[in-house]
Chains A and B, each alone.
Chain A
Amino acid sequence: SQTIHQWPATLVQPVGSPLSLECTVEGTSNPNLYWYRQAAGRGLQLLFYSVGIGQISSEVPQNLSASRPQDRQFILSSKKLLLSDSGFYLCAWSSRGGNSPLHFGNGTRLTVT
């Protein structure tokens, strides 16, 4: 069966520090991979998605970047965090095709102080 791992679960970082959140998927190959952000009590905002190694689509220009160095690995990064980067970050994967739902990781709660 497929599983998705996302870490860390919680992170507190000072303003101006770098960020690296990692997500890996097991049990499937060539998945679509996604990073979403959820502000407190709000909906999900798509940040990045990838349909293949090295292929990244950015939905919202901002202080973050994403990379996919391996088929089942998706990394969210920042060189210098801003206070506004605080939030709940969710990684997800799906198979190809519109009828495939997204399967989410457990999320990372990021607090920038």
Chain B
Amino acid sequence: AQTVTQSQPEMSVQEAETVTLSCTYDTSESDYYLFWYKQPPSRQMILVIRQEAYKQQNATENRFSVNFQKAAKSFSLKISDSQLGDAAMYFCAYRGSGNTPLVFGKGTRLSVIA
């Protein structure tokens, strides 16, 4: 079974600085999809960014970008120019190529210091 590991339960970053959240996963599939979700204090789950495993180019969405290392099975999230509104739980998630559910990591709680 696929597993997703987020080794950093908590992280903090100074406002306007850059922070990287780590995620590794275990799978025997070659075709799959990876996601980062943000959960602010409201507990609404918000999609931040997604990456297709067959794409070598790292996905970017404004201040958010990923470092996807397929051989290492690593999928880290970089947040640039951190803002107070970035404070949230961040979840890494994996989905296989079939019609299967997402598998989530345990999350990283990010604090942003003014």
Give the interface of A toward B (CB within 8 A): 32, 34, 36, 38, 41-44, 46, 49, 51, 59, 88, 90, 92, 96-99, 101-104, 106-107
Q: Which interface residue of B33, B102, B107, B109 has the most chain A CB atoms within 10 A?
A: B102
Given contacts A98-B97, A99-B50, A101-B35, contact A107 B107 (CB under 8 A): no
Contacts of A92 in B (CB 8 A): 45
Q: List 18 A-B contacts (CB under 8 A).
A: A34-B101, A36-B104, A42-B106, A42-B107, A43-B104, A43-B106, A44-B104, A46-B103, A49-B101, A59-B101, A92-B45, A98-B32, A98-B33, A99-B50, A104-B44, A104-B45, A106-B44, A107-B43
Nearest CB to that of A38 among chain B residues?
A: B43
Bitwise, B85-112 to A at CB < 8 A (1) or not (0) is 0000001010111111111111101000
Q: How many residues of B contact A (CB 8 A)?
A: 27
Chain A residues, CB < 8 A from B91: 43-44
Collect the chain B residues with CB atoms within 8 Å of residue A102's CB.
Answer: 35, 45, 47, 93, 102
Cα distance, A103 to B33, chains bound together (Å)? 15
Chain B residue with minimal CB distance to A90?
B45
Q: Give A53 to B76 CA distance when docked, in angstroms.
A: 37
Q: Does any Cβ of A come within 8 Å of B31's Cβ?
A: yes
CB within 8 Å for A98 and B98 given contacts A42-B107, A43-B104, A44-B104: yes
A34 to B101, CA, bound (A): 8
Least distance between B96 CB and chain A CB atoms (Å): 6
Shortest beta-carbon distance from A25 to chain B in Å: 15
Instruction: Tell me if A51 and B107 are in contact (CB < 8 A).
Output: no
Closest partner residue, chain A, to B92 (CB atom): A43
